[in-house]
Amino acid sequence: MYLNADDLTPLYVQIAQWLELEILNGTLQSDEKVYSQYQLAEMFNVNPATAAKGLSLLAGENLLYKKRGLGMFVAPQAKEKIRAKRIKQNLQQLVLQVVAEAERLQVSQAELIAMIKNVEPPKEE
């Protein structure tokens, strides 16, 4: 698995985002053990300290919790928290951009909504 090297988002943030996705799509359930920094380092081909930073980023948001000597686990309600956060941060940003672009291109609100309705949601892999 390789991270996007051209993306200038810091690697540890990319790792954190990937873990969030894993929690969102249910691969990682509440109170389930998360990958260790070493596993993540190997999966993403990055320095283990970088991977650890990704984990502590999520721990700082209380999405993960630490069991001493056992590693990191998914916090209860992590999925809901991530969902709320992403709606607030990502989706609204994206909508803002879409609306702005639509305005530049003089696409009416109705047309835009129709376009959104016609988009087929990507199939889960």
Partner 1 sequence: MQSVECNNLTKRYGSVYAVNDLSFSIAENSITGLIGRNGAGKTTLLKMLAGFSLPTSGTVNIFGQNPFNNLLVSANLIFIDDEMVLPENMNLGEILKAAATFYENWQAGLASGLLDYFSLDLCSYYPQLSKGMKSTFNMILGIAARCPITIFDEPTVGMDAAVRKDFYRALLKDYLQQPRTIILSSHLLGEIEDLLDNILLIDAGEKRLHLPMDELRSYAVGLSGNFKLLNELVKKEDIIFQQQLGKDKIYLVVRNRNIDFSAAKLKGLEISPVAANDLCVYLTAKHKGGIDDVFKHN
By the rule CB under 8 A, 48 interacts with partner 1: yes
Q: How far is the CB of 10 from partner 1 (least distance, A)?
A: 6
From 35-43, 56-64, 69-77, 100-108, span contacting partner 1 (CB under 8 A): 35-43
Q: How far is the CB of 59 from partner 1 (least distance, A)?
A: 17
Q: How many residues does the chain have?
A: 125
By the rule CB under 8 A, 59 interacts with partner 1: no
Residue for token pair 């993540």: 40
The dihedral region occupied by 30, where left means phi > 0, alpha psi between -120 and 50, and beta the remainder, is: beta
- How many residues form the binding site for partner 1 (CB under 8 A)? 17
From 23-31, 45-53, 76-84, 95-103, span contacting partner 1 (CB under 8 A): 45-53
By the rule CB under 8 A, 38 interacts with partner 1: yes
Q: What 3-state class would DSSP assign to 45?
A: coil
By the rule CB under 8 A, 70 interacts with partner 1: no
Nearest Cα residue to 37 out of 23, 47, 22, 24:
47
Residue 13 and residue 36: Cα distance in Å, rounded?
16
Nearest Cα residue to 2 out of 10, 116, 87, 11:
11
Residues that bind partner 1 (CB under 8 A): 3, 5, 8, 10-12, 38, 41-42, 44-50, 53
